[in-house]
Structure 1
Amino acid sequence: MIFEGCSNFRTRIILSLLSGKPVKIRNIRSQDNEPGLKEFEVNFLRLVDKITNGTSLEVNETGTDLYFQPGLLIGGSISHECCKLRGIGYYLELIFMVTPYCKKGIHITLKGVTNNEKDPSVDAFKTCALPILQRILLLATDVTMDIKKRGMEPDGGGEIYFSCEPVKYTKPIQLTEFGKIKKIRGTFFSLRVSPTIANRMVEKAKANMLKFIPDVYFTVDHPKGKLCGNSPGFGANIVSLTTNGIVLNADSVSLPFSGKRTTAEEIAENVSSAMLEEIWRGGCVDSSFQSLILLYMALRQKDVSHVVLGPLSPYTIQFLRHLKIFFGITFKLEPYNNINEDEDLRQGYNSRILVTGVGIGYNKLI
């Protein structure tokens, strides 16, 4: 399978691993001043090599052409130093997508940048993606994720541990009832800066969220010594939980101190606005992890699954196109309005989409 350019690089490699189909990617930044693969993409391929057996790569001298022959997904105990140009979330997407289909369970330690602006934070994966594994893949006792250290750009220093056993049984996905927001929780952290910054963020964000719902509780994380990484910074993660067990998430972090400065109040405003927008979207899955739930739907046994999503992100739209290319699967997309909800809620949720699909009956290596 032949592709052009560097866009959707991770998606092509991940789906190549799951489908067993080799891919060739040509003209990777061939017109740039620095052509070829970037450091974080090479680092990503090293992680792929660690969790597989028999993977082969061929890259030309300039790095603009890549031939990828996928191996078998094995898993095992792994430790990996992530590139500091991207967050650990960039690599966790690979882990969450392929772990259920490995031969053995994965026990992995990832080191690098835990929170940045480009990628979902490790908090987002722990609060939103982990419940998807537990609820959808029936892994209530076999999946854990611990944030051992936090690290900000540019020098990182963070560390997380993730453990998950392979899936032995799956069932069709039925996620159509959003429910009502019952509580809002959050974590505000400050690394190598004054702890009063975290308190200022909490005060501002709580004032904003109390206008929406009374059950609001935020915690402050101010690690010291080796636990706070190598660079100063601060940020926030807010989670909304509904009466039907739906979890939505919002992140915001400060810019690196070498660049433009951001204040604690700006971070609190940003994360509050992002949380309210995510609630307004009304999807039963957080917008950052739409592709994750769609992949699980595609690889289920041959049965019908339903899930209600908010407006599809550009990344999700491209992911759907790649699913059709690699697996030949398409989904039925139609507007969704629940007649049991209040009229004002239905008007706010008029952009929700009901996604219906039949799994391909994917069989992993046993």
Structure 2
Amino acid sequence: MGKSSYKRLTGSQNLRQRLVLATLSATPVLIEDIRTDDTWPGLRRHEVSFLRLLEKICDDCAVEINETGTKLKFKPGIVMGGRNLVHDCGLTRSIGYFLEPLIVLGLFAKKPISIKLKGITNDSKDPSVDTFRSTTFPMLKRFGVPSEGLELKIENRGSPPLGGGEVLLAIPVVQSLTAVKWTDEGMVKRIRGVTFSTRVSSQFENTMVFAARGIFNSFLPDVHIFTDHRAGVHAGNSPGYGISLVAETTSGCCLSADTAISYAHEEATAGLEDEKKELMPPDEVGVQIASVLLGEIEQGGVVDSTHQGLLFLLCALCPQDVSKVRVGRLSPYGIETLRHIKDFLGVQFVITADPTTGTVMLKCVGCGLKNLSRKVS
């Protein structure tokens, strides 16, 4: 075998996505200048943890990081999958940061994946584990991912800064995805949601539910928000509370918005003693997230802005057939995803703005990725 030629990239942005696309397209990458100008240069803890996770689920995967962490050499291996895996996601980012890339890779693994992920289940940066259950999974089913074997079970909740959460994730394998024509977002017919609280009074949840319902009941009657109060070992190690909402439409689309309120990490609040003690009251949290969800609905499109990147990636991985989707205003993450897809998979989207609705239509022919390790039944 000849020497691998590495695709050269710079900077730390969208590291997860680059590594996922490198793995799926079997392209070795060399990433340089990772935060060289920062006070703390190099890879962050959660990025190193993600690399360790890739090593767990892949065979023959080689990772080299220089001493300062500003240069990364990654040679992808074969995604093997496996059962009863365990990974500690750390405390700098939540489990949601690891779920999206893990699900995409798991679909093309040799064996189905079942893994226990430990860490923070809900924070304000990444999509919560509830959002993956209520919004991401129904979206995967449109691309031909079977419901059997696709599962996310929340054993323990964990809020920042000390986490303590645990979730069990199971991902089935597919031979290939199915191209979609998904352009009708429909009308919102009901709102569903879940609030959670860990190591605080369950009254916080009732307040959030009441505040969110106060906004939605002006528009539609079918609003149901469940509560999930945790205590003892199931409540993790830190106090926190939050809410995840989903708008379901007549055409089967799910649009979501979520947040979590908790004390920040020590380093994030260094020297800001007053900031540390002030948390947003639960009634304001309910109103804020209800308003964010209404904003997502107003934008139009078959997915919310958080899911744009995943939607484009799934379209690009489809067989060599045309996929057509409608989204609201393109998010910065969605735009970066389109660039990386073109870079790694050679798939280019035709983008057309629809001025009457303010939405954007995207069309592409998939790269035809097949799971070669899965036998055709």
Please, what TM-score do these two structures have when normalized by structure 2? Answer: 0.91
Q: Please state how far the C-alpha of 1:272 moved relative to its aligned partner.
A: 0.6
Q: What residue ranges of structure 1 are gaps of 5+ in the alignment?
A: 338-345
Pick aligned residue for 1:94 from 91, 101, 114: 101
Q: What amino acid sits opposite 1:236 in the alignment?
A: I
Q: Spell out, residue by residue over 1:289-325, the C-alpha distance to the aligned partner (whole angstroms, 9 max, x if none).
A: 1111211111111111111111111011011101111
- Aligned AA for 1:110? L
Contact 1:308 1:336 in 2 (8 A): no
For 2:219 and 2:91, the matched residues in 1 are separated by 37
Matches within 5 A, 1:1-366: 1-77=7-83, 78-256=85-263, 258-336=276-354, 350-366=357-373
Give the aligned residue type for 2:365: V
Matched-pair contact (CA < 8 Å) for 1:134–1:143: no
What root-mean-square deviation, in Å, do the aligned CA atoms of Structure 1 and Structure 2 show? Answer: 1.3
Mapped to 2, the partners of 1:170 and 1:30 lie a distance apart of: 39
Matching residue's letter, 1:273: S
User: What SS is found at the alignment partner of 1:254?
Assistant: strand
State the secondary structure of the residue aligned to 1:62.
coil
**CA shift digits 1:55-98 (9 cap, x unpaired):** 11111111111111111111112110101110100000111221
Paired letter, 1:24: L
Shift of 1:286: 2.2
Comparing 130-139 with 240-249, greater Cα deviation is found at 130-139
Contact 1:54 1:71 in 2 (8 A): yes
- What is the CA-CA distance between 1:177 and the residue it aligns to? 0.9
Between 1:137-146 and 1:319-328, the stretch displaced more is 137-146
Larger CA deviation: 135-144 vs 294-303:
135-144
CA distance in 2, matches of 1:12, 1:170: 20
Identical-pair percentage? 40
Q: Secondary structure of the equivalent of 1:130?
A: helix
Q: Partners in 1 of 2:46 and 2:315 — Cα distance?
A: 29
Does the 8 Å contact 1:73/1:365 carry over to 2?
no
CA change 1:53–1:114 in 2 (3 A) is same
Greater than 4 Å deviation, 4+ residue runs: none
| Cα distance in 2 for residues equivalent to 1:168 and 1:65 | 35
Contact 1:239 1:250 in 2 (8 A): yes
| 8 Å CA contact retained: 1:88, 1:111 | yes
CA–CA separation in structure 1 for the residues paired with 2:327 and 2:170: 28
Letter in 1 for 2:233: K
1:185 Cα deviation from its structure 2 partner: 1.0
State whether residues 108 and 175 of structure 2, in contact with CA within 8 Å, keep that contact through their aligned partners in structure 1: no
Distance 2:317 2:259 in 1: 32
CA contact (8 A) 1:102 1:365 kept: no
Q: After superposition, what is the alpha-carbon deviation per residue over 1:230-281, rounded to whole angstroms, capped at 9, x for unaligned?
A: 1001000111101111111110221417453210111111111111011111
> Helix, strand or coil for the counterpart of 1:140?
coil
Residue 3 of structure 2 corresponds to none
Deviations 1:125-179 (A, max 9, x none): 1111111222322412231111111110000011111112111243221111111
User: What SS class does the counterpart of residue 213 from structure 1 fall into?
Assistant: coil
Q: Which amino acid aligns with 1:59?
A: I
Say whether the 8 Å CA contact 1:252–1:270 is kept in structure 2. Answer: no
2:300 corresponds to which letter in structure 1? G
Q: Would the aligned equivalents of 2:177 and 2:317 in 1 still touch at CA under 8 Å?
A: no
TM-score (norm 1): 0.94
Q: Is the 8 A contact 1:238 1:249 kept in 2?
A: yes
State the distance in 2 between where 1:169 and 1:38 align: 34
Q: How many residues align?
A: 355
| 8 Å contact from structure 2 (residues 157, 166) kept in 1 | yes
Cα offset for 1:363?
2.3
Give the Cα–Cα distance (whole angstroms) in 1 for the partners of residues 309 and 198 of structure 2: 31
Question: Do 1:134 and 1:140's aligned partners in 2 also have CA atoms closer than 8 Å?
Answer: yes
The 2-side partners of 1:308 and 1:216 are apart by 26
